[in-house]
Structures are given as C-alpha cells and as structure tokens.
Chains A and B, each alone.
Chain A
Amino acid sequence: MKKIEAIIKPFKVDEVKEALDKIGCHGMTVTEVKGYGRQKGHMETYRGVEYQVVFNPKAKVEVIVADKLVKDVLAAIQKTANTGSIGDGKIFVTPIEEVMRIRTGETGEAAI
C-alpha cells in the first residue's frame, strides 16, 4: 500500500476527485495548506508598498491506495491538476505499513 500526497492548486480539487473516483480510488483527505516552492511566492502592492506573498495557498490531497493502483492515480492527478503554469504543485508517494478500519477491525487492503 502507498500513501499518495498531492499538493495542488485549490481550484483543481474537484477535478482531481472526479478523476480518482473514475479509476476506482474511493476516499480521500483534503487539507488547506500554505507553502512555497521554486516559485518563491509572488509580489503584490499594498498602499504603494511592494510586498512578497511568500506562502501561496494550496490544497493537499491524500489518498491511500493498493500498490497496483499507484501508477493510475499518479497519472490521473498529473493530468487533471495540470494547468501548465508555475505553481501546479507536486506529488509524493510513501509506503504504508498497515491500515485498519476502526468500525470493523479489518486490516490491509480490505480496509482501504
């Protein structure tokens, strides 16, 4: 099992969700986050003074999937969250040791 964390543009969350639903990845956790990458924020002016908006608002989408789905999920997110401009975000994949459904006590892929 793998955890796939995608930092994406907030307005892309709905599209990503639909796409993942279609390929059989049901369930996700979404968090509003702030951060910066190579783009290093952007400049704005307020009352005649330039200032840097260092941390841009992003959405973090987390899904736990069976190993066989990882490739499809990565492709789906990469395709739907892509606008072609800077600040589209990144995807991280990490291994998951165990999953348990609290209501039934099931473990492993059955609990996803």
Chain B
Amino acid sequence: MKRFIALALVLATVMILGAPLLALAQEAPAATAEAAAAPALVPDPSGTAIGGISDIVGGSPNAPTKEEVEKMAADKDAMLTKVADVAGHNKIAINMSWTLVCGFLVMFMQVGFALCETGFTRAKNASHTMAMNIMVYGIGLLGYWICGYALQMGGGGGSATLGGTMGLLNNEFTINLFGKDFGLFGLKGFFLTGDSYDVSIAALFLFQMVFMDTAATIPTGAMAERWSFKSFLLYGFFMSGIAYPLYANWLWGGGWLSQLGANFGLGHGTLDFAGSSVVHMTGGVAALAGAWMLGPRIGKYKPDGTPNAIPGHHIPMAVTGVLILAFGWFGFNTGSTLAGTDLRIGMIATNTMLASAAGAVSAMCYMMFIYGKPDLSMSANGLLAGLVAITAPCAYVTPTSAVIIGLISGVLLCLSVFFVDQTLKVDDPVGAISVHGTNGAWGLLALGIFADGSYNEGINGVAGTVKGLLYGDGGQFIAQCIGVVTCFVFVFCAFVIYFKIMNNFVPMRVSAEIEQDGLDLHEVGVLAYPDFNLNKTHR
C-alpha cells in the first residue's frame, strides 16, 4: 500500500510539475510569433466577445466574402454591421451549444460501457468492473486536465467553428526531418490556465475529454475480472495524461500524421473524422497489450490450450449498455463537426445508424450460419463494431458505403474474436480488442477506400475534398495505412513498456485466491449482490 501511494505521488508530481516547465520552455518563442501575426487575440473567459461579424464569412451559399465583410465592418455605426455582428455571434453560439450537447451525449456512453462490461463478466466481479468504469472517468478527467489536453490540442489551433480564440492553442513541439516539420505534441493548455481560460477552449476541452475517456475505458473490459485496482488507477493517469494525447495530437492536434498530405502529398494526411483510430483503436490496442500481459482468467483455457466459455452474468444489462452506447454515438460522430451549422450532420447521423444496423445484422447472421443460434453477445458486439468502423468515415461516405462498411465490420468482428480467443489466446471477456481495435483499424482504412469527395474542402491545408481509393485518390489510402500502422506500433509498444515497468512496483494481477473468490470484496470492499448466493463454483 505504501509503495503504491508513493508511486502515485511521484507520478502525479512529475505530471503536475513537468507540464508547466515544458510549457515555460516553449512559451517565449511562441509569444513573439503570435505578436507578429495577430496581436488582437486574447482569451475570453466570459464568452461575451467571441463570435462577431467576421464569423459570418462562408456561413451560407450567399454569405459575404472576407473582403465584403471588412468593407462593411469599417462602418461601425451602420445597422447592417451591427446585425451581422449578432449573426456571427449566434453562429458561434449554435456551434458551441451543439458541441456541448454532443459532448454530454458522449459522456453518457460511460454508462453504456459500465453496463456492457459488467453484464459480460461474472457476478462475483461486478462491483470491481463498475468501480473501474466510474473511476476511469474521475481519474481520466483529472489526468487530461493536468497535461493530456495540452499535449493533444496545445498546438492544433482547435477549430474556427468555435470562435477565433481557438487560435490561442498555437504551441506545437516539432522536430525537423527531411526538411519538413513533424509535430509531436502540443504545449499549451496545462490545467486550463493562462490563455486557456477561455470559453471556446474550455468547450473543446469538455468535448475532447469525453472522447479520451471513451478510449480509457475500453481496456477495463478486456482486462476485467483479474486486474488489480491499484494498477488500474495508475494506468488511468498514463492513458489520459500521456499515451492517448500523443497519438491524438498527431491526427487532431496538427501533428505529423495530419500533415502527411501537406508535406508528402498523401491525400489530406491521415484523416479520422470522429476517432476510429484516435479513440477506438487506441483503446483496443491498449486492451490487447494489457490483456496479453495480464494473462487469461483462471479456467479460461483447458490444459490443452482450447478455450472454455465463461458466460457473462447479466446479458440484459450488457445489451442495455450496448444500446446506450449506440445512442451516445450520435453525439460522438455528429458532434465531431464541432459545428451545429455544418449541415453534413444529417448525413453523418444517418451513416452512423446504418452502419450499426448492418454490423449487428451481419454478426448475427454469421453466428447463426455457423452455430445455428444468433449468439446475443456477438450480435451486440456487432452493433458496436459497425459503430466503431463508421466513426472515421461517417462524414465522407454515402449511405450505401456506410452499409457496406457496417456489413464487413460485423463479420470482421466475429473472425477477430475467434482469432484473439483461439489463436492468440488472449482472454478478452467483453470482446473489446475485436470491437474497438480491429474495427477501429478497419474504420480508418474504410475512409481511405470509400470517401466520395463530397465533404471537407481544404482539410489539413490540402486543396480539394476528401477522396478514397474507389474515387481516385490512392494517396489518401496510403495515409490511412500509415495511420493504422503508427497507431498499432506506438500504442502497443507504449503500453507493453508501461505495464512491464509498472508491474515491478504495483503488480497488475490479483492473487489466484482473490480471483477465484471474486474481486468485489477484496479489491473494492463491496459486493455487487450481497443478498444473493453467487455461483462461484462455475470455473
């Protein structure tokens, strides 16, 4: 216990002290560059100054151009100027409201994960699984607040849809290779202080935080029923403060993967609209590394290595969780426009729906075809697989493509579950590795195949819309492949190394006695079902 507390303190101190020091080291040069470019940019903690006449540019097909707006704004007293200013403010207000409401929906996905993971595990570990799901929210949030957000978005400049002050996030740590800049991580926004004391930057924090937390809660399912609670707590800080933000920066924070297009002519750089790789594949690969290093649950494999089934204790709970996830996913995907005024949200929401339905149906059909029964847990996983796979391409593809992507994801899920279970012999009670890892990779690739060139003109500084392999842009597909490989190699190595080191200080796995008796009383001190006799004899 003492060693655990000491280690937690050391980790927290390093994160808390290290973050601002890094920021200070980078503050000076950035400040001068900023002064030269736009001296007017100041944070707006009250939200009264954000959004104005300049934000009406490009707001509709006949919106005034930048030049027309500048001409109009010169006459400050004209009624038209004042009305245009209100229109601009309202546009930002719609976008921020949209972003926040969608963020709240994504936060609700925590409920879905908690129910899904707990339902698919055994009754004797229900409190422990629930405890991980609630504390990953608390710990993840604080870790992300300390340094995660800054590392991820501190250099990205955010999105102009939430107002001009997003430009305050302008400090990216880069290295120069082959004469090109490779952005590695951001350095602004630690603790949301200083320039980050701003309504737009805070709104984006909330939205990005719940995404990070989705990734952080994925491994708790794959590693359930045997992971020590202390080891999990430390993992929460590592995931939210360091591992997730780095890869997220490379795609969403202006980092090097997003610049593959501008720097090397590979499409628009690696694109991931709502996080098939950033959120789901990261979570899934971390789950693979964690579950592999933890080893299978006692009784999962027979002496000859063939798997035993360990059915979950509460299938209705798990299915409820899956449906809650599907509901929250509408916020996940449509909210990633960061703009309620971007009407592509209608297509995004519909594509999300279609892919989830197709995933559930194809997984169910596959299981029925092979085993004669639909296997509810696999059908439910199939629904999620469709959602994970459509998360990256949802904004770029047609409804037909969304259905194809979903149908493939359901079958891919089944094959992946069998492969992980029977070939890799990695014990994943809830199927997190296959749902999020395998289909996260498929989602990223699907964008590079099916993007039809109807959306996102000029994204990542490359002219034109986003096109996949089938629509004539092979470069985009290569960029997506690089993204998949990078995600797997980086996240897998990071977590194997992290768990290897940490295991020496805080053992990952509970003792065999605790595992057999159930983790509830021993690890979190409360039984989930104290009024019932639990069936602990079943393996």
- Please report A residues at the B interface, Cβ cutoff 8 Å: 44-51
Q: How far is the CB of A49 from chain B (nearest CB, A)?
A: 4
Q: How far is the CB of A89 from chain B (nearest CB, A)?
A: 21
Q: Cβ of B308 and Cβ of A48 under 8 Å apart?
A: no
Closest residue on chain A to residue B372 by CB atoms: A45
Residue B505 at the chain A interface, CB threshold 8 Å: no
Residue B369 at the chain A interface, CB threshold 8 Å: no
Residue B311 at the chain A interface, CB threshold 8 Å: yes
Closest residue on chain A to residue B414 by CB atoms: A48
- Give every chain A residue within 8 A of B529 (Cβ-Cβ): none
Q: Cβ of B308 and Cβ of A47 under 8 Å apart?
A: no
Q: Cβ of B307 and Cβ of A49 under 8 Å apart?
A: yes
- Please report B residues at the A interface, Cβ cutoff 8 Å: 307-311, 367, 370-371, 373, 375, 377-378, 414, 417-418, 421-422, 431
Other contacts beyond A45-B309, A47-B375, A49-B307: 15, CB < 8 A: A45-B371, A45-B373, A45-B375, A46-B311, A46-B375, A47-B309, A47-B378, A47-B417, A48-B378, A48-B417, A48-B418, A48-B421, A48-B422, A51-B308, A51-B309
Q: Cβ of B377 and Cβ of A46 under 8 Å apart?
A: yes
CA distance A46 to B373 in the complex (A): 10
Residue from the list A45, A47, A50, A51 in contact with B421, Cβ < 8 A: A47
Q: Which of B309, B311, B373, B414 has the most CB of A within 10 A?
A: B309
Could you show 21 A-B contacts with beta carbons less than 8 Å apart?
A44-B309, A45-B309, A45-B371, A45-B373, A45-B375, A46-B311, A46-B375, A46-B377, A47-B309, A47-B378, A47-B417, A48-B367, A48-B375, A48-B378, A48-B418, A48-B421, A49-B307, A49-B308, A49-B421, A50-B309, A51-B308
- Give every chain B residue within 8 A of A46 (Cβ-Cβ): 309-311, 375, 377
- Give every chain A residue within 8 A of B373 (Cβ-Cβ): 45
Closest residue on chain A to residue B120 by CB atoms: A47
Closest residue on chain B to residue A48 by CB atoms: B418
Q: How far is the CB of B150 from chain A (nearest CB, A)?
A: 41
CA distance A51 to B431 in the complex (A): 18
- Give every chain A residue within 8 A of B377 (Cβ-Cβ): 46-47
Q: How far is the CB of B238 from chain A (nearest CB, A)?
A: 29
